Structure 1
């Protein structure tokens, strides 16, 4: 009889503990204030009960776009959006895709980064589009208010650019000298390494290492960071590629944008690679030494993450 009573009390206690744990878990999962998200973003949204996601959208109808000589309706993939889902302890996760023209990409990216959002990809969706359209993927973890405010800042920056210049620009500001006369020595001093000279141009390449299908792949197989310089020492251009691990992406992006280097693509080059590398393509204009110093700062930030 005593054993029966003890077992019964144990079962009741266990059930109460389970109920309390379940209630606590339920309490720790936040509920989205969808009206507040609409207020902060200035956009109407749609709630998916099945996925517990609230999504706001903003069609890019302010500029007429042709793809393959066909006038493209926004319904066919020309809509910016941001989706929010609750996580735990009053926090939320946001993911989104932002339709941007070439002159909007970098100001919008800087705005997103400064607002505490992450930029996770930048690429095209179409060929033969006029004007050229790109898609900047964003994400974030934090309070729904902070994330929604960040999204609004990005959209406002895009609107500000188009209000000032209704037609998308066709070039970055700054000049590039017509004759290539880069001085290698000054750039080698910045990077602390020898580079390659070719017809007045200069290039440095820094190899990294990974494995694909258990085979080591490195510099010559395309796992590398590089910077190539052309023009003159005073009117130069740099373009290149960063081989970058996922935890390096946001710090390097922030450094590059703070230095005025334009980001032109963020994507992958390989599959089945360990560790997983992303590749960040960039373009900058200015004095060659200043450009080299900007790239070196990003390299130093990248290296510091693994010390």
Structure 2
């Protein structure tokens, strides 16, 4: 009982310390450096950099930014400063100019790879990391992205009465099959499924997991007639990789990449990307079969 008491006290103290650190950061300076407002989840500030300038097609589907072109960076208070992580969507010609500016500014490159096969034009994904003054890191990120064609100006605000794009799918039935609740975002129906066990980096718990990119992400883009294009990434321990591959392939879902996004996370994680275009309910059953092979959190 005494151990439980002190464990609870330690957790509360850690939460309070993180809250104080978050209050100490001048987030307005970060917002100004990046030229946009974040989505805030707990103490994490996540900024989106969707490649809305690109028209990428794959298997006859024009990919919406929220399906597979949604670059982002996220800041989390850490040791009196902040940790930054990100996943930036780039064309091949943009990779090295952006990379050079990042490393000149003291940020780390943790991965460069593709997530999709056969897409035109080919897009690549640069994962970044760093620790330091959040406003300074934000300025480096903006200067680096300025060497690409990533839109840095926010689009004109839509009116409050503007309706979001409709999701032409039976989302209630999808949720029933997936055994979790999704949400609509820019014409995409999205699921975020955290792992059951905590993930940490440099002794810091990676929470909340979804905005930091360590939750399983599954996206449905309606293509008409009850069909959908699906993509995303499974976040897996090493012994889960091949069971998930087999479950996806058995259900007609392509595995398009297996790789790392980070360098020193605990436990070691692998990211498995997938793609298919088919009946949405059929695909959901295949994805649920794959999720059942993972140590993911239950609703």
Q: Same fold (TM over 0.5)?
A: no
Looking at CA atoms only, which structure, 1 or 2, has the larger radius of gyration?
Answer: 1
Kindly indicate which of the two structures has a greater share of residues assigned to helix.
1
Whose relative contact order is higher, 1 or 2, with alpha carbons under 8 Å and at least 6 apart? 2
TM-score, normalisation: structure 2: 0.43
TM-score, normalisation: structure 1: 0.42
